[in-house]
């Protein structure tokens, strides 16, 4: 055997190929470290002193005007209400509630929470919402007190560096105190002391656990969750979430959390530096959703609304007097009113309750934008739908005892069918029956039995579609029956006022609007209303339905026999 038979060429070791890659990685790591250190050195010099951190520049406020531009309805942040307090004047429950709501890992991180940043980035990519963002309390304070909300890499790097440096210079308790003296709570209120005084008429040191959780809930959405707004149910839900988090994090016991959830909340009466308060809160929520809360607080916007101040004052007086009369007659303590111009869709007046500042009777709740049963005011939508199907104002209906459940006797004298379901034979308030009459007379007298007949002829689903086409935004369930025409479904008063405008405008719909224009502080126009749609709906048929009725014979007759056959 030859010697060469045992020879094999030697392979070069794999590590020789890895050496250049390792060198490149090392250089990149060193460069990254030097960049980070350089950024830290460069931006750390800008860290303000403690006295500077306690001061925040007052920015230009946003003003909301009536339609003339002469009446200021509300001046948002025209005056910052703030009282600086020391750490020992803030109860531990208030501190822990803020941590539970905004930064559960506050006492463990170094000013920046990588896990929170990654979690927020991931959820942002996949389009999901989370209860906490990626910014720590330290970062939030730096952004609000020192920097801005600019979405630039320079601002973000500076925020990270200053947060790390702030954590190095100050204790966790000092940082949390700075944050609680800086954070906005809504209603022109900054800092926990001013918030406690504004919403509970007490000092921060006297806050209960339940009240502390309420205040901790507000910075997430100060306008939407305002105790003086229309979303008190969401505020309560947020409070209970924070109390649950306090329990999970070990700051309070479950019995304490349960007791706090049951504690009645008594909010202070709001200051009356606001005109047309329900309307203003409606506008404020809109502009904050569109432009952002920070822009509304700092950019000096001028919002010219559609509100007619003279009509608004008259509406407020009418509702106040009407509510008092209703209280005496029926024991009802509230009322609401909305008015709009059908030719333009502009909201002219909005009164959401008898007294916005009467929180004991839910005065700050806006009934005009809330779902409520409309009663007989829903009847015209059924008639309108029927008219588009060939029925006319002269169609004969029958105001006679009628059973609408086919499993019940036709004499309408039974309460349940053989399956235990309710029979349905509505009547009128006076328990009288008027016999055959034409549709226009039935609607003019708001008679119930003919209206239910008309809804059956028009069709429930088609009637709901007509209502939605005219401006109703609710009625999204699938369980509605013939009682719908008598108010068996909930609608918003503001929607129904806009929908009735289609009747007044001879079938032409104008979407409701509350803004004439919005300007920035330089006078540049940011927003004006969209041009109204002038395309008539099929409801132009109302132009051919004159009053009083003509003596000519009816074109369509819905006889009891025909109606019974169709019901079966």
Predicted confidence (pLDDT) at residue 150 exceeds the cutoff of 70: no
What would the mean pLDDT of 22-29 be, rounded to a whole number? 77
Which comes out higher in pLDDT, residue 551 or 157? 157
Topology of domain 375-508+531-567, CATH: Beta-lactamase (3.40.710)
Which comes out higher in pLDDT, residue 34 or 566? 34
474 catalytic? Reply is: no
Mean pLDDT over the full length of the chain = 82
Which comes out higher in pLDDT, residue 60 or 300? 300
For the stretch 70-89, pLDDT in tens is 898 987 754 566 778 899 99
39, 87, 320, 376: the active-site residue: 376
pLDDT at res. 300? 81
Side-chain-side CA neighbours of 18 within 13 Å: the count stands at: 3
Q: Which of 543, 471, 463 is nearest to 505 (CA)?
A: 543
Residues 6+ apart with CB under 8 A from 400: 433, 435, 449, 560
Most confident of the ranges 104-118, 119-133, 298-312: 298-312
Q: What angle do CA 142, 291, 134 make, to 5 degrees?
A: 40
Phi then psi for residue 139, to 5 deg, are: -65, -40
Share of the chain residues as helix, strand and coil, in percent rounded to the nearest 5: 50, 10, 40
Contact in structure between 97 and 216 (CB atoms under 8 Å) = yes
The gap from C-alpha 105 to its chain's centroid, in whole angstroms, comes to 30
Most confident of the ranges 66-80, 137-151, 290-304, 467-481: 467-481
**What's the CA gap between 468 and 476, in Å, rounded?**
10
pTM for the whole structure = 0.64
Quickly list DSSP for 328-346.
Answer: HHH------EEEE-TTT-B
211 catalytic? Reply is: no
**What's the CA gap between 329 and 180, in Å, rounded?**
49
Q: Which of 133, 129, 135, 132 is nearest to 147 (CA)?
A: 135
What would the mean pLDDT of 207-220 be, rounded to a whole number? 94
For the stretch 235-294, pLDDT in tens is 999 999 999 999 999 999 999 999 999 999 888 876 666 899 999 999 999 999 999 888
Band of the pLDDT at 46, cuts 50, 70, 90?
A: low
Band of the pLDDT at 561, cuts 50, 70, 90?
A: very low
Q: Which of 182, 186, 234, 246 is nearest to 210 (CA)?
A: 246
For the stretch 344-399, pLDDT in tens is 999 999 999 999 988 878 888 999 999 999 999 999 999 999 999 999 999 999 99
For the stretch 403-426, pLDDT in tens is 999 999 988 889 998 888 999 999
**What's the CA gap between 364 and 536, in Å, rounded?**
37
Predicted confidence (pLDDT) at residue 483 exceeds the cutoff of 60: yes
| Residue 490 CB neighbour total at 10 angstroms | 13
435 SS3 class:
strand
Instruction: Reply yes or no on domain 53-298 having CATH 3.40.190.10.
Output: no
Band of the pLDDT at 538, cuts 50, 70, 90?
A: low
Tokens of 146: 């020192």
Domain borders along the chain are: 18-47, 53-298, 306-369, 375-508+531-567
């Amino acid at each position: 055997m030859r010697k060469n038979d045992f020879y094999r060429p030697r392979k070069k070791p794999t590590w020789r190929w890895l050496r250049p890659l390792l060198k490149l990685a090392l250089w990149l790591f060193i460069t990254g470290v030097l960049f980070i250190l350089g950024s830290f050195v460069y931006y750390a010099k800008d860290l303000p002193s403690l006295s500077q951190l306690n001061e925040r520049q007052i920015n230009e406020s946003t003003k909301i005007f009536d339609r003339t531009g002469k009446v200021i309805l509300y001046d948002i942040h025209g005056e910052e209400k703030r009282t600086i307090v020391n750490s020992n004047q803030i109860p531990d429950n208030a501190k822990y509630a803020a941590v539970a709501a905004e930064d559960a890992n506050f006492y463990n991180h170094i000013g920046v929470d990588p896990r929170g940043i990654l979690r927020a980035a991931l959820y942002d990519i996949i389009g999901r919402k989370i209860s906490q963002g990626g910014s720590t309390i330290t970062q939030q304070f730096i952004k609000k007190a020192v920097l801005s909300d600019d979405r630039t890499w320079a601002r973000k790097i500076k925020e990270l560096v200053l947060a790390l440096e702030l954590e190095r210079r100050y204790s966790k308790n000092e940082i949390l105190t700075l944050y609680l003296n800086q954070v906005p709570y809504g209603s022109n209120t900054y800092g926990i002391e001013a918030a406690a005084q504004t919403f509970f008429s007490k000092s921060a040191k006297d806050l209960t656990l339940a009240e502390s959780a309420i205040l901790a809930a507000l910075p997430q959405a100060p306008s939407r969750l305002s105790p003086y707004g229309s979303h008190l149910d969401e505020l309560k839900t947020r409070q209970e979430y924070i109390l649950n988090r306090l329990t999970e994090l070990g700051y309070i016991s479950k019995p304490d959390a349960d007791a706090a959830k049951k504690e009645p909340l008594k909010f202070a009466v709001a200051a009356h530096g606001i005109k047309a308060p329900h309307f203003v809160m409606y506008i404020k929520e809109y502009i904050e959703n569109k432009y952002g809360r920070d822009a509304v607080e700092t950019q000096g916007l001028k919002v010219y609304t559609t509100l007619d101040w003279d009509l608004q004052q008259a509406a407020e007086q009418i509702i106040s007097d009407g509510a008092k009369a209703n209280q005496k007659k029926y024991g009802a303590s509230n009322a609401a009113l909305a008015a709009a111009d059908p030719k333009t869709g502009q909201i002219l007046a909005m009164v959401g309750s008898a007294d916005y500042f009467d929180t004991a009777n839910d005065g700050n709740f806006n009934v005009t934008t809330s779902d409520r049963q409309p009663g007989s005011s829903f009847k015209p939508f059924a008639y309108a739908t029927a008219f588009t199907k060939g029925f006319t104002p002269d169609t004969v209906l029958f105001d006679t005892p009628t059973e609408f459940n086919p499993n019940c006797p036709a004499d309408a004298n039974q309460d349940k069918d053989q399956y235990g379901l309710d029979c349905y034979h509505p009547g009128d308030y006076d328990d009288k029956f008027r016999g055959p009459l034409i549709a226009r007379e039935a609607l003019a007298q708001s008679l119930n039995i003919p209206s239910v007949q008309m809804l059956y002829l028009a069709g429930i689903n088609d009637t709901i579609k007509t209502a939605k086409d005219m401006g109703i935004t609710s009625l999204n369930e699938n369980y509605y029956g013939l009682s719908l025409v008598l108010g068996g479904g909930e609608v918003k008063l503001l929607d129904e006022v806009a929908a009735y405008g289609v009747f007044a405008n001879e079938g032409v719909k104008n979407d409701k609007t509350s803004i004439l224009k919005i300007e920035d502080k330089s006078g540049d126009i940011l927003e004006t209303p969209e041009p109204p749609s002038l395309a008539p709906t099929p409801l132009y048929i109302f132009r051919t339905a004159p009053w009083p009725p003509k003596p000519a014979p009816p074109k369509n007759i819905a006889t009891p026999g025909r109606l019974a056959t169709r019901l079966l």
